[in-house]
Structure 1
Amino acid sequence: MRPALRSVVGFCLLVAAACAGVPPSSPVGAQPLDLTIRSEPLQLKLDEPSLFKIGKLIWRGGISMTGSSSNFGGWSDLHISPDGRTLTTISDLGSWLTATIEYDSADNLAGLDHARIGSLRGLDGNPLASKVEADSEGMAHMPDGSWLVSFERDHRIWRYPTLDGTPVAINLPEDFSRQPLNGGVEALTALPDGRIVAISEEHTLTPKLLVGWIGQPEAEGRYSWQTFQYAKIPDFNPTALAPLPDGGFVMLERAFDMVHGVRIRVMRFDEAELKPGATINARELARLASPLAVDNLEGIAATKGTRGETLLWLISDDNFSSLQRDLLLLFELEK
């Protein structure tokens, strides 16, 4: 992960952030654990409490989270159940987390409760232990209830019957292993017909165009793969992908440098654009940067609200650094 700081005040702070991360010394273990999540409410913009809209996104609440486990943190993708009640996320150090979502009287995000944390397992059934093997970045909930998880460093996609179960490896495109070490698939999702969509964070064959893959399910759990391209702008790369309830997709793109800090683009494209051989040019819904509520956002999900509105959920990876935060943000998509 590229470290993404709450604010950037020069080279010394950057070095301090790099040194501040203290990842857990071991995975959660063989058995999931209950844990408590403490939530601090956020404003969209700290110095402008009346601001409730940015771009095409309407603020529906946000929290900064800490958990009663050294393994809490590093959240790299997100799934919200269709009823908006259950959160599921994975960490880039090989953990998974589930929790019940709490709302206030206006149906805005208020907190998380009844949380459980556990370890993703390897093909041998044992918890993933090292960063090289446990760097889980993308997740997709399959139509049959199973989960796909994509990993960086050792580039692969595994299918889990449940997140605390033993996975099986799926066959991958020939060029999947050619992705940069820390620039693999973070944007991963699945369609109702069982197709898989994956977009590389950095793998490119043509300047300004990232490689994407569409996996068509075949017999015996195998996939046939075709490619497309995703158009990017300088500095920004995709970190998350999710289907919208009414069709199409929403994405996160992230940029970071010492001068500007972390910037996030929330993007959208139509399902009709997702075709083998096509180039996707996503449209920007909003751009998040300091002093807005933002951090190293790496996960996104979309659901329907109680009034039929489209809700977008964003989660951040704190890199286990005291200078970053685990944020959960909720927006309503403007009609």
Structure 2
Amino acid sequence: MAASKAVPLRFALYAALLFCGAASPLAPAMEFSPVTATPVTAFKSGSDQREFGKLEFLGGIDFRSSDSRVGGISGIRFRADGHSFVAVSDNGDWITGSIVRNADGRLAGLSEVRATPMIDARGYRKISKSEMDAEGLALRQDEAIVSYEGRHRIDVYPDPGFQASRPSKSMDFVIPREELRGNGGLETVVVAPVEGPLAGAVVTIAERSIDTDGNLFAAVLEGPLKGIFKVARHDPFDVTDGAFLPNGDLLLLERSFTFTSGVGMRLRRIKGDSIRPGALVDGEVLLQADMGYTIDNMEGLDIIEGPDGSTRIVLVSDDNTSFLQRNLILEFRLTD
């Protein structure tokens, strides 16, 4: 494309929505929200390829709802049953529900979806996006842990009961507040395995807050290894979520966006035993995709055990409540 050619309006609108988000209604949801889903049968456009390195594409869905609060998902975690989920949106909503599978075990839809405005520490619901821009979510016994940007913080809600409660406390996120960018702060929050070296500690990673060497700020927030570490950043990718694999390695979801090539995503695996204060961590890229694949603004990641005992990787996109974008849920099986 020639340098003088105008940027397409579609991409200009996409960029604005990607980084700014959109407003949504303030009233809490009292009923289940209607959701329709279309199966995603191909990951690579126009191809029946199923194997992508160490990952096998199992399928997915593209879902929509007439309830504008059902969307904008920036973090998702599944319950132990592998079906029920809790998600947060960057518009400040809790979104709960369950995935539905067809007779072949493939993703087919969502059921019992409900969106509820989050409550801040003062007891107010969704007073503004800058106050309630939820980006990351982690679940552990009795706690739903949420990271926010705009007003940077990590709040802890009771679980169950988070939909009707204010946070019970805020966590020390260790990283100096002045190092966090306004729209690139604490994007990822994840709980490490109890049996591993981090002993169940909460870990956070910034989206685009970098040090003088261009590395991302990250921190272990608890336990004997509490402290700051760094994650190598590879331009143009930014970290949007993470989850620990059964073997203790950390899987990171990363997103890119440029006006010329649109959105991209990749998955990177970090060795779990490399995470410690003062470390600079990096790892193997398991998957990388561009607009030639069925992706969008990929922001959410979780790992579940499949019905066959395999390790499944579930990815979710954030549509920014825009008709230009899609709510995707994609599922892969880790084959190594």
**Which of 109, 120, 123 is 2:121 aligned to?**
123
Residue aligned with 2:295, SS: coil
2:216: which partner in 1? 210
Shift of the alpha carbon at 1:20? 7.5
Q: Secondary structure, in 3 states, of the residue corresponding to 2:206?
A: strand
Aligned residues: 320
The match for 2:302 is 301
Look up the match of 2:252: 251
Separation of aligned partners in 1, 2:241 and 2:330 = 14
2:96 aligns with: 98
Secondary structure of residue in 2 paired with 1:40: strand
Q: 1:172: Cα distance to partner?
A: 3.2
Match of residue 14 from structure 1: 11
Checking the alignment, whether the CA contact within 8 Å between 1:254 and 1:264 is kept in structure 2 is yes
- Equivalence for 1:311: 312
Residues 241-288 of structure 1: per-residue CA shift (max 9 Å, x gap) = 111123211111111001111110111112111111111112100112
Matches within 5 A, 1:129-144: 129-142=127-140, 144=141
Shift of residue 32 of structure 1?
4.4
Does the CA-based 8 Å contact 2:24-2:91 persist in structure 1?
A: no
The answer for the alignment partner of 1:4 in structure 2 is: none
Deviations 1:202-261, CA, capped at 9 Å, x for gaps:
22223231111101159xxxxx94011101111111000111123211111111001111
SS in 1 for 2:273: helix
| Residue 262, structure 1, aligned to residue 259, structure 2 | no
Q: Comparing both chains, which one has the higher relative contact order based on Cα–Cα distances under 8 Å and sequence gaps of 6 or more?
A: 1
Equivalent residue number for residue 202 of structure 2: 196
Q: Give the Cα–Cα distance (whole angstroms) in 1 for the partners of residues 24 and 317 of structure 2.
A: 21
Query: RMSD between aligned alpha carbons?
Result: 2.1
Q: Which residue of 2 aligns with 1:39?
A: 37
> With structure 2 as the length reference, what TM-score do the two structures score?
0.89
Tell me if 1:59 matches 2:57. Answer: yes
Using the TM superposition, name which of 295-304 and 196-205 deviates more.
196-205
* 8 A contact 1:27–1:95 mirrored in 2: no
Tell me by how many angstroms 1:174 deviates: 5.5
Does structure 1 conserve the Cα–Cα contact (< 8 Å) formed by 2:12 and 2:259?
Answer: no
Contact 2:27 2:117 in 1 (8 A): yes
Corresponding residue of 2:227: 226
Q: Which residue of 1 aligns with 2:151?
A: 154
Q: 1:41 to 1:28 in 2, by over 3 A?
A: farther
Structure 2 equivalent of residue 166 of structure 1: 166
SS at match of 2:221: strand
Letter of the structure 2 residue corresponding to residue 101 of structure 1: I
Are residues 174 and 268 of structure 1, via their aligned partners in 2, closer, same or farther at CA, if it must alter by over 3 Å?
closer
**CA contact under 8 A between 1:24 and 1:70: conserved in structure 2?**
no
- 2-structure distance, mates of 1:194, 1:267: 21
Answer yes or no: is the 8 Å Cα contact 2:173–2:204 preserved in 1: no
1:274–1:113 distance in 2 versus 1, CA, 3 Å = same
The two structures have a TM-score, normalised by structure 1, of: 0.89
**Identity percentage of aligned residues:** 29
Q: 310-319 or 202-211, which moves further after superposition?
A: 202-211
Provide structure 2 residue ranges, at least 5 long, that are not aligned to the other structure: 1-5
Matched, 1:175 2:172: no
How far 1:161 moved relative to its partner? 0.5
Shift of 1:25: 4.2
Find the aligned partners of 2:313 and 2:284 in 1 and give their Cα distance. Answer: 16
C-alpha distance in structure 1 between counterparts of 2:15 and 2:259, whole Å = 12
Aligned to 2:78: 80
The 1:178–1:58 alpha-carbon spacing in structure 2 relative to 1, beyond 3 Å, is: same
Q: Deviations over 1:87-113 (max 9, x none)?
A: 221100100111111112222211111
Q: Separation in 2 of the partners of 1:25 and 1:257?
A: 26
Deviation of the 1:47 alpha carbon = 4.5
Between 51-60 and 114-123, the greater mean CA deviation after superposition: 51-60
Whether the 8 Å contact between 1:188 and 1:199 is mirrored in structure 2 is yes
Does the Cα contact within 8 Å between 1:20 and 1:322 map onto a contact in 2? no
Deviation at 1:19, TM superposition (A): 7.0
Return structure 1 stretches of 4+ with deviation > 3 angstroms. Answer: 16-25
